[in-house]
Structure 1
Amino acid sequence: MWRRIRGAVRRYPLVFTTVLVGLAVLTLQAAGAGPAAAWTAGLYAGAVALKTAAEMLRNIRAGNWGLDILAVIAILSTVVVGEYLAALIIVLMLSGGEALEDYAAGRARGELDALLNRAPQVAHRLPSQAGGSLPGNRRIPRGAAEDIPATEVAPGDILLIKPAEVVPVDGVLLDPAAEFDESSLTGEPLPVARKAGATVMSGSVNGAHAVSLRATATTADSQYQRIVALVREASASRAPLVRLADRFAVPFTLVSLLIAGTAWAVSGDPVRFAEVLVLATPCPLLIAAPVAFVGGMSRAARSGIIVKGGAVLEQLARARSAAFDKTGTLTYGRPGLVSVNPAPGFSPDELLSLAASAEQYSSHVLAASVLAAARNRGLQPAPADTAQEVTANGVEALIGGRTVRIGKHRFIAETDPQVPSADLSPGQMVVYLSVDGRFAGTLVMSDAARTNAAATLTQLHGLGIRDTVMLTGDGPATARAIGNTVGITDVRAGLLPEDKVRAVAALPLRPVVMVGDGVNDAPVLAAADVGIAMGARGSTAASESADVVIMADDVSKVATAVEIGLRTMQVALGSIRLGIVLSLALMLVASFGYIPAVAGALTQELVDLAAILNALRALHGSGRRPSRPARRQGRRRTGIMDTGRRPCPADDGFKR
């Protein structure tokens, strides 16, 4: 306990000095040494006022007009008129404001701190032959685990995760099945079931049974440490608190001085001037906003959304346009195989096997889907003698002595100009193949729109987003089909990353929110007023470029982020206005001489408390839904569906 007290004294020396001076003044007053008490209090309060005034002048030279002038005038006026106890209370209020803010912000920062404090420190490493994949269903030798620092885990290590223990690094589950609580990462409250071979995120909490996993990354490169880095960045950043308070600084100062000056002029008593200004000290304006912004960031973290600073919350609250990438954002990003259409001379399995053998050397999203489809049919990719991925076109590989090309229509047409055009339904995409320069067939795939994408866009319209646009590198027909499905009429397809940046810069309604997930989205996420990266399991570049990172693969969190921004700004401004209204009302009462200076200074502390308690409401949602007209408008916007079929010779439905 004494250690904590010493730490508090070192952190807030002015608070404890003011308390000691106050005790000394009261002791002198009780001993009948009134003049000594007055001089002690006056000199100390005057010194604090001069120090505050010097800092205020430096801020004014830097172009920042703050609220310190009211505090300085209130301290000096109370000293001049002999209300030295009131002067000490004002000094205590100012010096204690930082401590009060830290306490309230600490309560509001609970979710952010929880992420930082629960980082695993120890890992249980098993012998390399241990694990859930032992032949004959033999049990894993649980007692053979060696405790090591989590930072020493290397990829390939077999780790034992005990019941209710936090997973220290990213890994692959070796046991047949397990459940993990990912609520601190994604905001999803229910446990998530995982099967053998599934990826397990660090920071997940194991269920009721011990399991083993194979580490795939070090702690520094794991999911949880990436989240911790984002949280540290968010908690270290300052919200636009100074700007927010300064919007009210000049008018509040002028009105307060006008009321105080009028009271002095009408009454002829300078004490009245001091009594009014005691109630004009600006603590509610300076404390309430920081607490609200930290509370909003904490609420976002609880929902699986990392917001990198209070300025981002303000931009989210003011956002009027939203732009979306398509693949992996409005769609699931996991295209499924619809049909295999071989040309004469090829069988479906042969065509799919050749496609998988070539696509295993590609990083494109369709490559993973082709490989998965082949494996589901029991087909194993054959090794290639040579393979080359041709950017934005496809892959060419030499497999079993045959040259296989897979990719876009124009890529295959370079070797066989007679390539027919595929007949696609909206939302479908096609992969063309050729073997030794002859067209071999097509694979038709489809990447469905997320089931909650349309509802998310409806909710965004209800939250004040007036324009929505899709920016994608995919072909126009596929992009339009997805746009019609989710309710976006402004669809811009065939865009390169630099085209997306230009498109966002040209949007007229600002601020603009951009939502994406891949490496190619990193430039536009950085260029937007607010960049939102979908799913921290995806591109590190996208997460680092974004202002908001959504930990779950859930597009509805975009609307949640905007709602939290709106709620936080409403609470911050509401707390400031509450403090101003209460202060003005009390100043008017004091102008008639009904509130003595000491009572006014103590009353102002209650105003501070009311403003701070109101600011803590940012930790919780308002519970209000979008307006009925907004919901009707959203339904109209999402009610268009294009079901026609069309030939698309140049539109393959995807962008390599």
Structure 2
Amino acid sequence: MQTKRALAAVRRYPIVAATVAVGVVVTAFALVGREDAARWTASVFALTVAALVGYSMVRDLLRGHWGIDVLAFTAILATVAVGEYAAALIICLMLSGGEALEDYAGRRAKRELTALLERAPRDAHRILEDGTVSDVGIEAVEAGDLLLVRPSEVVPVDGVLRSAVADFDESSLTGESLPVTRHTGDDVMSGVLNGARAIRLEARARAADSQYSRIIALVREAAASRAPVVRLADRYAVPFTLFAFLVGGMAWWLSGDPVRFAEVLVVATPCPLLIAAPVAFMGGMSRAAGNGIIVKSGGTIEMLANVRTAAFDKTGTLTYGRPELLAVLPAGGPGAATPRGLRLDADPEPLGARARELLQLAASAEQYSSHVLAHSVMGAAKARGLELLPGQAASESATNGVVATVAGRSVLVGKELHVRNHASGVEHYDLGPGEMAVYVAVDGRFAGVLVMSDRVRDDARSTLAELGRLGVVERLMLTGDQRGTADHIAAQVGLTRVLAECLPEDKVVAIREAPARPVMMVGDGVNDAPVLAAAEVGVAMGARGSTAASESADVVIVTDDLFKTATAVGIGQRTVRVALQSIWIGIALSVVLMLVAATGVLPAVAGALMQELVDLVTILNALRALGPTRGPRAGGRV
């Protein structure tokens, strides 16, 4: 086993292995007095490594990119030229070893990302009609199939629980450490870990359409992305390189000894700049994944850290997107002018016979509508023990309403104007802020109104307050709803600006014209896809959101938790802060070593070994990006 691991390490890091092997040979030559052989062997190998570095450097320069490998290339040539072959070998080990350490630290930082990929189920246990169980590939599962999920297995597809009760570990997707209990009829998200008992699950979607598969696709994209190493490191590359050449040149000129120049360049080798940024950024992406936030690229992490405007869609984002029934108002009743008198939350027995009949007929017709309000009306009727009656000759006018024949009666349900155009005696009802009305007509005559309201998320206000604390100066809402409803929501959650009655293209224009940049846009629906793509950072509420929104976004929140948007910004800020700290620590230590080496008291070999310690300190500091960010949630951990 140890031999296999050693061979795997050699294949993964061939230059490191070659450098170590050459170092052993050179040491053996030196010990037996073959100084010339030692010098020539080390020099030829060092020049070979320099040629590889130089090829990459020239290629970058031809593309107009000044890289920080100029220093490493010059340091190798300088040490070989002055006969410091041992230092040249150490520089080669430093460069190749630095890449190996970066790879190791990057894999350590990616651990939570790759854990999602490794846990992806490949098989499912389908329960056949005779009660037997057949193992099939996960791609063969169809919606409606009854599946067996054994203890400690990952749920393969989105489904509905058919067992009485079950416990699930959702920590890999949501970051929630405590098991979650589900009951018969509850939705179960693919990718969660089943508890200690076998359960039955009815598949609600095919594997390719399930939540976990979408998350896996996003994670693959995130894991394959590169952090903005070049942009971040190269901000310091030119001044750092020029400073090193200046110090080395001054040391050479003042001492008259070219060895001083080589000694300075040895400790100026810019491994901290090469290593710090990618390790910190991958750590931040891994930290985000552990919180149920998939960040698609390292560049997005850097953009999150600088967000100054946060824009939100309303329905399903700032609100739960599940309108609740507030009142049932039959036509001509005492509450026609003031629906507040018949509010459900004010009367323990609010539904009389006429109101129950109105709700039952409306819900029965709404069975044939795809509108979000239709599901809420049906849910309200079922919650009150009302049976949904079968309908005939049903047809829907998109966004306006639905008509169906229910129990021999023609029932029309929809917007006020639509019902007014197709029925007589329609009365207008004045609504309160945040309320919406579903108008109902029966047999061509107005029958009454159902008053609905989409409740604001419990964490909406705390989310916006936390974003303000993190330096997001403008927090606005972009919605297609009417001004009154939008203003009501804004007052509840603490928004700084509201744009109401927006079409999708209006939202895109608003994002592009926002003065405080970068802009983060948060949404969940298909209509949010264009504006998510237009923002510098698009955040999709992926737990219930559309695939289009998730694909257009840069960040996907896999749980139905709005506060994760503030968590993402906090993780971005901490990640960039750690990356910059690591870079500056490396620069500061290198500058000190350069000044010491310029005096001649730090031999080239000792300087190269000291630079290795600088690299180690830089990597360890960059790995702090994996740690928790302090914040107001979960006992200070977000």
> Shorter chain as normaliser: what TM range?
over 0.9
In the TM superposition, what are the counterparts of 1:465-504 in structure 2 within 5 Å? 465-504=472-511
Give distance in 2, aligned partners of 1:555 and 1:414. Answer: 40
The equivalent residue for 2:342 is none
Indicate the SS of the match to 1:197: coil
Aligned-partner Cα distance in 2 for 1:226–1:83: 55
Distance of 2:225 and 2:369 partners within structure 1: 39
Q: Which amino acid aligns with 1:195?
A: H
Q: Give, in angstroms, the shift of residue 611 of structure 1.
A: 0.4
1:89 corresponds in structure 2 to 90
Q: Does 1:125 align with 2:126?
A: yes
Structure 1 residues 7-60: Cα deviation after superposition (integer angstroms, max 9, x where no partner): 332222222222222222112222212112111211221122122112111112
**Corresponding residue to 1:326 among 309, 314, 331:** 314
2: CA distance, partners of 1:65 / 1:387: 68
Give the drift of 1:155. Answer: 2.8
Query: What does 1:228-627 correspond to in 2, within 5 Å?
Result: 228-344=216-332, 347-400=354-407, 402-416=409-423, 419-623=426-630
Q: 1:495 and 1:390, CA in 2 relative to 1: closer, same or farther beyond 3 A?
A: farther
- State the AA in 2 paired with 1:263: A
Q: SS where residue 207 of structure 2 aligns? A: coil
* Secondary structure, counterpart of 2:422 in structure 1: coil
Distance 1:268 1:363 in 2: 84
Q: Deviations over 1:87-106 (max 9, x none)?
A: 11111111222211111111
Q: Distance in 1 between matches of 2:171 and 2:387?
A: 37
Q: Is the 8 A contact 1:308 1:547 kept in 2?
A: yes
The Cα of 1:265 is off from its aligned counterpart by 1.0
Distance 1:414 1:66 in 2: 70
- State the one-letter code of the partner of 2:322: R
The aligned amino acid for 1:527 is A
Once the two structures are overlaid, the 10-residue window that deviates more, 268-277 or 358-367, is 358-367
Write the deviation string for residues 207-261 of structure 1: whole angstroms up to 9, x where unpaired: 2222111222333222222111111110101111111111111011111111111
What is the CA distance between 1:344 and its match in structure 2? Answer: 4.3
Letter matched to residue 522 of structure 1: A
Secondary structure at the counterpart of residue 301 of structure 1: helix
- Contact 2:570/2:629 (<8 A) preserved: no
Which residue of 2 is the match for residue 40 of structure 1? 41
Secondary structure class of the residue paired with 2:209: coil
Q: Which residue of 1 aligns with 2:171?
A: 183
Residue aligned with 2:126, SS: strand
Q: Which residue of 1 aligns with 2:344?
A: none
Q: 1:315 offset after TM fit, Å? A: 0.7
Q: Distance in 1 between matches of 2:496 and 2:410?
A: 42
Instruction: Write the deviation string for residues 270-310 of structure 1: whole angstroms up to 9, x where unpaired.
Output: 10110011011111111111010110011111111111011
Larger mean Cα displacement after TM superposition, 187-196 or 546-555: 187-196
Q: Distance in 1 between matches of 2:382 and 2:203?
A: 24
Aligned length, in residue pairs: 613
2-structure distance, mates of 1:499, 1:295: 37
8 A contact 1:128–1:157 mirrored in 2: no
Residues 388 and 64 of structure 1: CA distance in aligned 2, closer, same or farther (over 3 Å) = farther
Matches of 2:158 and 2:572, distance apart in 1:
31
Shift in Å, 1:503: 1.4
Q: What is residue 154 of structure 2 aligned with on the other side?
A: 166
Uncovered stretches (5+) of structure 2, i.e. residues with no partner: 334-352, 634-638
Name the SS for the 2:181 alignment partner.
strand
Work out whether residues 396 and 406 of structure 1, in 8 Å CA contact, stay in contact via their aligned partners in 2. Answer: yes
Q: Secondary structure at the match of 1:123?
A: strand
- Contact (CA 8 Å) 1:128, 1:158: kept in 2 or not? no
- Structure-2 residue corresponding to 1:9: 10
**Match of residue 135 from structure 1:** none
- 1:20 and 1:352 map into 2 onto residues whose CA distance is 83
Asked if the contact 2:371–2:399 (Cα under 8 Å) also holds between the matched residues in 1, the reply is no
% of aligned pairs identical?
62
**In the TM superposition, what is the alpha-carbon distance from 1:543 to its structure 2 partner?**
1.1
The worse-fitting range, judged by mean Cα deviation, of 612-621 and 335-344 is: 335-344
Q: Per-residue deviation at 1:418?
A: 5.5
- Deviations along 1:165-207, whole A, 9 cap, x unmatched? 2212222111111111111111122221211111111111122
Offset of 1:154 from its aligned partner? 3.1
Distance in 1 between residues matched to 2:195 and 2:237, nearest whole Å: 53
Q: Report the Cα offset of residue 575 of structure 1.
A: 0.6
Give the 3-state SS of the residue equivalent to 1:287 in structure 2: helix
- Tell me how far apart the structure 2 counterparts of residues 37 and 612 of structure 1 sit (CA, whole Å): 32
State whether residues 541 and 556 of structure 2, in contact with CA within 8 Å, keep that contact through their aligned partners in structure 1.
yes
Which moved further from structure 2: 481-490 or 564-573? 481-490
Counterpart code for 1:54? Y
CA apart distance, 1:416: 4.5
Tell me the alpha carbon deviations over residues 577-611 of structure 1, each in whole angstroms, 9 at most, x when there is no partner. 11001100111111111210001111111100000
Contact 1:536 1:543 in 2 (8 A): no
1-structure distance, mates of 2:22, 2:303: 44
Change (3 A) 1:356 1:508: same
- The DSSP-based 3-state class of the residue aligned with 1:423 is coil
AA in 1 matched with 2:37:
A
Q: What's 2:99 paired with?
A: 98
Change in Cα spacing, 1:624 to 1:354, as seen in structure 2 (3 Å) is closer
Whole-Å Cα distance in 2 between the matches of residues 388 and 124 of structure 1?
39
> Could you tell me whether the CA contact under 8 Å between 2:157 and 2:206 is conserved in 1?
yes
CA distance in 2, matches of 1:129, 1:185: 35
Task: Say whether the 8 Å CA contact 2:474–2:496 is kept in structure 1.
Answer: no
- Root mean square deviation, CA, Å: 1.9
- Partners of 1:152 and 1:87 in 2: how far apart? 59
> 1:364 & 1:75 partners in 2: Cα distance?
69
Are the structure 2 counterparts of residues 92 and 581 from structure 1 closer, same or farther at C-alpha, using a change threshold of 3 Å?
A: same
Contact 1:169/1:215 (CA < 8 Å) preserved in 2? Answer: yes
Output the CA distance in 1 between the equivalents of 2:404 and 2:229: 58
> What is the deviation of 1:129?
5.5
1:403 and 1:508 map into 2 onto residues whose CA distance is: 53
* Aligned equivalents of 1:399, 1:23: Cα separation in 2: 90
CA distance in structure 2 between the aligned counterparts of 1:161 and 1:622, rounded to whole angstroms: 36
Give the superposition deviation at 1:507.
0.9
- TM-score, normalising length: structure 1: 0.90
1:275–1:595 CA contact under 8 A, matched in 2: yes
Shift in Å, 1:622: 4.0
Shift of 1:400: 4.9
- 1:610-629 deviations in whole A, cap 9, x for unaligned? 00000000001342669xxx
Q: What residue in structure 1 maps to residue 181 of structure 2?
A: 193
Q: Distance between the aligned counterparts of 1:220 and 1:536, measured in 2? A: 16
Of 424-433 and 116-125, more deviation after overlay is shown by 116-125
